[in-house]
Amino acid sequence: MKKLVCGCFGNIYYATILKDGLMSDRGRVDVTDDAINAVIDHLHSMELYEKEGHSGYDIPKKDGGEIRLRLYDADKYKLVRKDN
């Protein structure tokens, strides 16, 4: 079965997944830039981005809390670190 997978060095591949769950190195295609651009296009097309200049996903962490994947208009927002 072919699917999108992330390799151990961070590249995204369209590759065959073997029966043991590992990615085959034969015929795999590096689609990192295309995958990132597709995600950016997806987030940019969301209704929230059109209305407020930001959009994204909140992803639960296994140990609690969230990871946020965000696209925001830098002319409207800035990213700041929380002080704990």
pLDDT in tens, 9-64: 999 999 999 999 999 999 999 999 999 999 999 999 999 999 999 999 999 999 99
pTM over 0.85: no
* Two structure tokens written together for 20: 């043991």
Of 47, 48, 67, the C-alpha closest to 57 is 67
User: Could you give the CA distance from residue 19 to residue 3 in angstroms, rounded to a whole number?
Assistant: 13
What pLDDT band is residue 7 in, cutting at 50, 70 and 90? very high
Opening angle at CA 65, ends 59 and 69, nearest 5: 35
